[in-house]
């Protein structure tokens, strides 16, 4: 990163540091190069959203979706038996069944699509058309 980072707002430095850390971890970039790219990413984000009040969610939906993907893979690996899945993820059998049902419905909607234009799946699984659609 540049030598004059003291003048860069903390939020931009934090964004740049996070981006650089990911670039180093995932792509094995050198720290200097990752820092330069991280700062550029931060500038791009700021240019895109300059002056806006931006809400930064905790990411619970994303965390749950990742957990559910992992849960579904483990469910398939265990021969579609919910008991080991419930133990591993510290959930009840009923919760596992519900998450698996929602995951399969979202996956089917993603793979198959709607039969008629404007149809939406009735699940609220993150990433599905119904979850993204505004509620009336």
In sequence order, what DSSP letters do the residues of 9-55 get, joined into one string? -HHHHHHHHHHHHHHHHHH---HHHHHHHHHHHHHHHHHHHTT----
Q: Does residue 36 lie in a domain region?
A: yes
What pLDDT is stored for residue 6 in this prediction?
75
Judge contact between 68 and 103, C-beta under 8 A: yes
State the Cα–Cα distance between residues 43 and 52, nearest whole angstrom: 14
Task: Provide the domain limits for residue 77.
Answer: 60-132
Residue of higher predicted confidence among 124 and 22:
22
State the Cα–Cα distance between residues 129 and 14, nearest whole angstrom: 33
Find the range with the poorest average confidence among 3-7, 75-79, 89-93, 100-104. Answer: 3-7
Q: Do 90 and 34 fall into the same domain?
A: no
Q: Do 72 and 115 fall into the same domain?
A: yes
State the Cα–Cα distance between residues 111 and 109, nearest whole angstrom: 6
Judge contact between 85 and 68, C-beta under 8 A: no
Q: Does residue 55 lie in a domain region?
A: no
Q: Does residue 101 lie in a domain region?
A: yes
Judge contact between 40 and 1, C-beta under 8 A: no
Q: Do 123 and 71 fall into the same domain?
A: yes
Q: Do 44 and 98 fall into the same domain?
A: no
Q: Do 75 and 128 fall into the same domain?
A: yes
Q: Do 112 and 66 fall into the same domain?
A: yes
Put simply, whether the predicted model's pTM sits higher than 0.85 gets the answer no
Mean model confidence pLDDT for the chain: 85
pLDDT tens, residue by residue, 48-80: 999 999 888 899 999 999 999 999 999 999 999
Structural domain tally of the chain? Answer: 2
> CA 42, 47, 51, 57 torsion: positive or negative?
negative
Number of Cα atoms under 13 Å in the Cβ half of residue 43: 10
Judge contact between 127 and 107, C-beta under 8 A: no
Residue of higher predicted confidence among 22 and 120:
22
Q: Does residue 105 lie in a domain region?
A: yes
Q: Do 76 and 126 fall into the same domain?
A: yes
Q: Do 73 and 32 fall into the same domain?
A: no
What pLDDT is stored for residue 133 in this prediction?
56
């Amino acid at each position: 990163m540049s030598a004059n980072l003291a003048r860069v707002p903390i939020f931009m430095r934090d964004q740049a540091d996070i981006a650089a850390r990911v670039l180093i971890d995932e792509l094995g970039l050198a720290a200097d190069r990752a820092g330069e790219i991280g700062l550029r990413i931060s500038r791009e984000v700021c240019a895109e959203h300059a002056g806006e009040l931006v809400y930064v969610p905790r990411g619970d939906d994303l965390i749950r979706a990742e957990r559910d993907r992992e849960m579904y893979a483990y469910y398939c690996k265990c021969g579609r038996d919910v008991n080991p899945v419930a133990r591993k993820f510290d959930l009840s059998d009923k919760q596992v069944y519900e998450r698996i049902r929602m995951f399969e419905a979202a996956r089917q909607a993603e793979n198959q699509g709607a039969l008629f234009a404007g149809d939406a799946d009735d699940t609220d699984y993150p990433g599905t058309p119904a979850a993204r659609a505004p509620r009336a």
